[in-house]
Structure 1
Amino acid sequence: MIRLVVAAALAVATLAVALPAVDDARAARTDAAIEGTVDRIERAGRSLATTEDATATRETAATRRIEFRLPARSIAAAKPAFVAVGGQPDGPGDRPTVTYAVSSSRRRHLRLPVPLRTPEGPVVFREPGRHAVSLALVRSNDGPELVVTRAAGW
């Protein structure tokens, strides 16, 4: 009986020591996945701005669709609170940033050769699952700009 109690106590102590490391690994894995998505958004924006011509409307503009998946909380991944393209959630849009929160809030500035515009404020994703954003190269009065919207069909 004493062996069983000692074994249970050691198991609980080992688990208590290991859980913070597991949580850190989950957050790091999710951070890496989101950073990969941010890299793809940045590359798509640069590619559009340097290889395509801007048009007057989004309907006729050259576009890029970037698909990604936000994980649900699991043994291998942390669930992000949000991912926002174009600014903070509930904040002003038209910012060349992607902001997200996993274990702590992070913001990454997008290095783009043209301004970024989000017509309906920041494009925010909160739910786990598959998502996509659309980038379109549109000509405004001030010159070309990348218009970012939630891609249809998701």
Structure 2
Amino acid sequence: MIRLVVAAALAVATLAVALPAVDDARTARSDTLIERTADRVERAGRALATTEDAVPTRSTAATRRVAFTLPERSLTAAQPGFVAVGGPPGGPGNRSTVTYAVSSPTHRHHLGIPIPVRTPQGPVVFRDPGPHAVDLALVRGDDGPELVVTRAADW
């Protein structure tokens, strides 16, 4: 009987020590997945800006779609609170950033795109886990070419 109690106490103590490491690994994996998505958005925007010509309207503009999946909370991934392209949720848009929060600190990934980013309805924010996509379009604005970022309509 004493062996059983000691074994249970050791199992609980081991689990208590291991859980913070599991949470850190979950957060790190989700951070990595979102950073890869931000890199893909940056590469697509840079490719548009350097290889295509800007036109006056989005309907005729050269576009790229970047599809991604936000992870759901599981044993191997933490669910992000949000991922936003163009600025933080509730803030002004038109920023060359991907902002996200997996745990308490908010992370900001600057997009190294040689033209300004424009988000017509403010930052494009995703909160729910699952598949999502953004559309990037190269449009000629008043001050030159702009990368217009919108939520993919038919996704």
Please classify the TM superposition score into its range, dividing by the shorter chain length.
over 0.9
Tell me which residue corresponds to 1:137. Answer: 138
1:70 corresponding residue in structure 2 = 70
User: Unaligned stretches of 5+ in structure 2?
Assistant: none
Pairwise CA distance, 1:84? 0.4
Deviation at 1:108, TM superposition (A): 1.1
Is residue 123 from structure 1 mapped to residue 98 from structure 2 by the alignment?
no
After superposition, residues 81-120 of structure 1 pair within 5 angstroms as 81-103=81-103, 104-120=105-121
Across the aligned residues of Structure 1 and Structure 2, the Cα RMSD in angstroms comes to: 0.5
- Quick one: distance in 1 between partners of 2:142 and 2:24? 47
| Equivalent AA in structure 2 for residue 108 of structure 1 | H
Q: Quick one: which amino acid aligns to residue 138 of structure 2?
A: L
With normalisation by structure 1, the TM-score equals 0.99
Comparing 103-112 with 133-142, which one deviates more in the overlay? Answer: 103-112
SS in 1 for 2:59: coil
Consecutive unaligned residues of structure 1, counting only runs of 5 or more, are none
Following the alignment from structure 2 to structure 1, what is the Cα–Cα distance between the partners of residues 88 and 101? 10
Divergent runs of 4+, >3 A: none
Cα offsets for 1:30-68 (capped at 9, x unmatched): 000000000000000000000000011001000000000
Identity over the aligned pairs, expressed in percent? 75
Number of aligned positions between the proteins: 154
Partner in structure 2 of residue 148 of structure 1? 149
Query: Normalised by the size of structure 2, how large is the TM-score?
Result: 0.98
Aligned to 2:42: 42
